[in-house]
C-alpha cells in the first residue's frame, strides 16, 4: 500500500468560507491563503501541525536557491517542487523510509492508543473515552497527526530505566503562543524564525539523529519517542478517534524512548515558546514557562492563569511593533501520565512601545501583589493562617485561620478575576490608542484602571463578608467596614508611590 502525506487528505483545516475537511501537505501550502486555520479539535494538534508546517517551509527555504525573506503572497513554486522531489520521505507506511518513524526501533508491540494523549492506555483509566487495546485502532490520518504531537508535547514517564520516556525539548508542560492572522499563510509567516541556519542541521525525516548538530529543524522535529506504526498487520474497521471507516486501521505500534533532552532548560530560541521573567527573593531573574494548573493545584492558580499569559505576551519581543496581533496561547498541564490537559487563551494585543509595555508590566505586578493580600484564598496552606492577608488580619483573631472567609473567596474570586482580566485588557487597548507624548491622558487611563480594580476588589470582599460573617446585620456591616478599611490602605500605598 501507499500513503503519502504530500497527497493524502490528513490535515484538518477550516477554509475561509466556513467549510472544514482534510487536505494533504501540498494542498495546504498552495492554498494556505484560502485556509482560515488548522481545524483540529485538540489544542495540542493545532499547535503541533503549525509547528510542523513551519519547520517544513524552513527546510524548503534553506535547501533551495531562495535566500530572500519569506514572501507574503504565496508559497514559492520552487519550494513545492523541492517537496515533490523528496516525496518518498513522506510515505507513512512501507518497507522503505517512513515519515517520523524508526525502522530500527526494537521492543515489543504495544497498543496504538499510546500514540494519542486523548486515549487511555495501560493503567490510565481516568478517561471519558474508552477503548480496548489491540482491538480498537486508528486510521492513518489520525496516526499522522499523532506523530506530530511528540516533538512539542511529550511528557516524561518513570517506569524503570528501560522504560524511561523523556519529555519534549521544552519540558513536561510547555506553553506555545502563536501569532495568528486572517489566513494560514500569514500565520506561518508571523512565526518565521529569525535564527540563521546551522550547518548540518536537518529535520528527523531527513536523517537527523541524536549526534547531529542542533538547530531549528532538528529541535522543531525532536524525536521524543521512537515509533514504528503497524509492525505486523493492517486491519479494516472504524477509527476509534475520528470514527471514520477505513481499510487501513493501525492497532499495534512499537513505542520506545527517543532522545533525552539536551538540557533541563527549555529551548530558548523556540520562536513560539511562551515564558515569563520573574525575580526571586534574591533579585535573580528566572525564566519560567507558565503551565495550566492541575486538578490538585490551588484554586487561585486556575482563576489567575490569565496574568501569566499576559505577562509573557508583554515580555514577548514581537509585541513591541506597530501592528496589532491576535495571540493564541496554548498551555499544558500534566501530572505523571494520569493527567494531561491543554487549554488555549486568546487575546488581541495591539502594538505597544517600550514605555507603555513597562507600565503595563508594573500594573500587572501590582495587581498580583494586591490579589495575594486581598482575594487569594491561599488554599496551598489551608491549615495555616495566611500571612499578610489584610482581610483575614482585619477580621480574625491572631490564632484564627480564616477558613470560612477563604472558602468564600474560593467561590467569588473566579468572577472577580474575570472582571480584572477584562479591565486589564481594556487598559492595554486604552494605553495603545493614546498619544505617548500625552502624559495627562496616560495618567487618566491608569487612574481609571486603578478605580476599576478598587471597585472589583471591594465588591468581591463585601460579597464574601456578607455570606460568611455570622451574627446580626450590624455585625456584618462592621465586618465589611473593617475589611474595606484594610483594603483602602493598600490603595493609598499605591497612590503614595
Tens digits of per-residue pLDDT, 434-493? Answer: 887 788 888 899 999 999 999 999 999 998 998 888 888 888 889 889 988 999 999 888
- The pLDDT tens digits for 47-81 are 999 999 999 999 998 888 665 556 667 888 899 99
- Calpha distance 395→102 (Å, rounded): 64
200 and 54 in a common domain = yes
253 and 360 in a common domain = no
pLDDT at 1 over 50: yes
SS3 287: strand
Model pTM?
0.91
Ordered alpha helix ranges (H), 154-284: 184-190, 216-220
**Is there a domain that residue 157 lies in?**
yes
The alpha carbon dihedral of 461, 463, 469, 474 has a sign of positive
Q: Are 388 and 373 contacting, i.e. CB atoms less than 8 angstroms apart?
A: yes
237 and 129 in a common domain = yes
- Calpha distance 174→152 (Å, rounded): 8
How far, CA to CA in Å, does 247 sit from each of 150, 242, 258, 382, 423?
26, 14, 30, 56, 54
pLDDT at 103 over 90: no
What cell does 439 get?
Answer: 502624559
SS3 481: helix
Half-sphere CA count of 75, side-chain side, radius 13 A? 29
Q: CB count, 10 Å around CB of 132? A: 11
Three-state SS for 221-242 is CCCCEEEEECCCCCEEEEECCC
For 13, the enclosing helix (H) or strand (E) is: strand 11-15
364 and 253 in a common domain = no
- Provide the mean pLDDT of the chain: 88
% of residues, the chain, pLDDT over 70: 93
Q: What is the pLDDT of residue 445?
A: 92
Q: Which domain holds residue 57?
A: 11-257
Domain boundary among 242, 257, 272: 257
**Is there a domain that residue 66 lies in?**
yes
**Is there a domain that residue 147 lies in?**
yes
**Is there a domain that residue 274 lies in?**
no
SS3 364: helix
Q: In what order do the strands lie in the sheet with 20-23?
A: 20-23, 11-15, 35-38
Q: What is the pLDDT of residue 283?
A: 76
**Is there a domain that residue 312 lies in?**
no
The alpha carbon dihedral of 124, 125, 130, 134 has a sign of positive
What cell does 296 get?
Answer: 490538585
pLDDT at 336 over 80: no
- Calpha distance 122→107 (Å, rounded): 16
**Is there a domain that residue 315 lies in?**
no
Q: What is the pLDDT of residue 250?
A: 95
What cell does 295 get?
Answer: 486538578
138-139 and 285-288 as β-strands: parallel, antiparallel, unpaired? Answer: unpaired
365 and 233 in a common domain = no
Q: What is the pLDDT of residue 66?
A: 60
Residue 497: pLDDT band (50, 70, 90) is very low
- Calpha distance 11→50 (Å, rounded): 10
Residue 43: pLDDT band (50, 70, 90) is very high
pLDDT at 158 over 90: no
% of residues, the chain, pLDDT over 90: 54
- Calpha distance 259→224 (Å, rounded): 6
**Is there a domain that residue 388 lies in?**
yes
Question: Looking at residue 322, what DSSP letter applies?
Answer: S
359 and 224 in a common domain = no
- The pLDDT tens digits for 195-237 are 788 889 999 999 899 999 999 999 999 999 999 998 888 899 9
Domain boundary among 257, 277, 305: 257
Instruction: Using CA atoms of 352, 354, 356, 357 in order, give the dihedral in degrees to the nearest 10.
Output: 80
- Calpha distance 254→228 (Å, rounded): 5
252 and 142 in a common domain = yes
**Is there a domain that residue 381 lies in?**
yes
Q: What's the structural domain count of the chain?
A: 2
More confident residue, 220 or 322: 220
pLDDT at 163 over 60: no
- The pLDDT tens digits for 292-321 are 988 777 777 888 999 999 999 998 866 555
Kindly calculate the radius of gyration of the chain based on its CA atoms and give it in whole angstroms: 26
Domain boundary among 257, 287, 318: 257
Burial code (b: 16+ CB inside 10 Å, e: under 16) for 246-268 equals bebbbbbbbbbbbbebeeeebbe
SS3 62: coil
171 and 61 in a common domain = yes
Q: What is the pLDDT of residue 91?
A: 95
Question: Looking at residue 91, what DSSP letter applies?
Answer: B
Q: What is the pLDDT of residue 69?
A: 53
225-229 and 339-349 as β-strands: parallel, antiparallel, unpaired? Answer: unpaired
- Calpha distance 422→412 (Å, rounded): 16
Q: What is the pLDDT of residue 363?
A: 95
Amino acid at each position: 500500500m501507499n500513503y503519502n502525506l504530500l497527497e493524502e487528505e490528513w490535515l484538518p483545516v477550516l477554509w475561509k468560507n466556513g467549510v472544514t475537511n482534510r487536505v494533504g501537505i501540498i494542498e495546504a501550502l498552495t492554498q494556505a491563503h484560502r485556509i482560515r486555520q488548522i481545524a483540529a479539535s485538540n489544542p495540542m494538534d493545532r499547535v503541533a501541525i503549525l509547528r510542523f508546517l513551519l519547520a517544513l517551509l524552513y527546510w524548503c527555504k534553506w535547501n533551495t536557491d531562495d535566500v530572500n525573506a519569506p514572501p507574503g503572497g504565496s508559497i514559492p513554486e520552487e519550494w513545492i517542487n523541492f517537496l515533490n522531489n523528496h516525496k518518498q520521505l513522506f510515505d507513512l507506511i512501507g518497507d522503505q523510509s517512513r515519515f517520523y518513524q524508526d525502522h530500527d526501533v526494537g521492543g515489543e508491540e504495544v497498543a496504538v492508543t499510546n500514540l494519542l494523549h486523548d486515549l487511555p492506555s495501560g493503567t490510565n483509566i481516568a478517561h471519558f473515552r474508552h477503548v480496548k487495546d489491540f482491538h480498537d485502532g486508528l486510521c492513518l490520518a489520525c496516526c499522522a497527526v499523532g506523530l506530530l504531537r511528540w516533538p512539542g508535547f511529550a511528557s516524561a514517564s518513570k517506569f524503570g530505566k528501560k522504560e524511561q520516556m523523556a519529555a519534549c525539548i521544552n519540558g513536561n508542560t510547555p506553553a506555545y503562543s502563536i501569532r495568528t492572522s486572517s489566513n494560514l499563510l500569514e500565520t506561518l509567516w508571523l512565526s518565521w524564525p529569525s535564527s540563521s541556519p546551522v550547518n548540518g542541521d536537518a529535520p528527523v525525516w531527513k536523517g537527523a539523529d541524536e549526534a547531529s548538530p542542533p538547530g531549528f529543524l532538528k529541535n522543531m522535529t525532536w524525536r521524543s519517542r521512537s515509533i514504528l506504526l503497524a509492525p505486523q498487520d493492517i486491519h479494516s474497521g472504524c477509527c476509534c478517534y475520528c470514527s471514520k471507516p477505513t481499510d487501513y486501521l493501525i492497532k499495534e505500534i512499537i513505542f520506545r524512548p527517543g532522545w533525552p533532552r539536551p538540557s533541563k532548560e527549555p529551548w530558548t530560541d523556540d520562536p513560539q515558546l511562551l515564558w515569563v521573567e520573574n525575580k526571586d527573593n534574591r533579585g535573580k531573574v528566572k525564566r519560567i514557562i507558565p503551565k495550566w494548573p492541575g486538578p490538585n493545584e490551588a484554586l487561585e492558580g486556575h482563576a489567575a492563569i490569565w496574568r501569566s499569559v499576559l505577562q509573557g505576551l508583554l515580555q514577548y519581543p514581537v509585541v513591541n511593533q506597530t501592528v496589532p496581533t491576535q495571540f493564541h496561547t496554548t498551555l499544558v498541564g500534566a501530572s505523571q501520565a494520569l493527567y494531561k490537559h491543554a487549554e488555549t487563551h486568546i487575546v488581541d494585543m495591539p502594538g505597544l512601545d517600550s514605555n507603555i509595555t513597562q507600565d503595563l508590566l508594573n500594573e500587572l505586578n501590582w495587581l498580583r501583589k494586591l490579589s495575594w493580600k486581598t482575594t487569594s484564598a491561599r488554599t496551598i496552606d489551608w491549615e495555616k493562617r495566611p500571612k499578610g492577608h489584610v482581610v483575614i488580619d482585619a477580621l480574625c483573631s491572631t490564632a484564627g485561620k480564616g477558613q470560612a472567609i477563604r472558602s468564600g473567596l474560593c467561590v467569588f474570586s473566579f468572577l472577580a478575576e474575570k472582571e480584572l482580566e477584562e479591565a486589564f485588557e481594556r487598559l492595554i487597548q486604552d494605553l495603545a490608542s493614546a498619544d505617548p507624548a500625552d502624559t495627562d491622558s496616560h495618567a487618566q487611563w491608569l487612574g481609571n484602571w486603578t478605580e476599576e480594580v478598587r471597585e472589583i476588589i471591594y465588591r468581591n470582599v463585601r460579597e464574601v463578608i456578607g455570606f460568611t460573617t455570622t451574627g446580626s446585620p450590624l455585625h456584618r456591616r462592621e465586618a465589611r467596614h473593617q475589611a474595606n478599611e484594610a483594603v483602602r490602605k493598600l490603595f493609598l500605598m499605591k497612590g503614595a508611590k
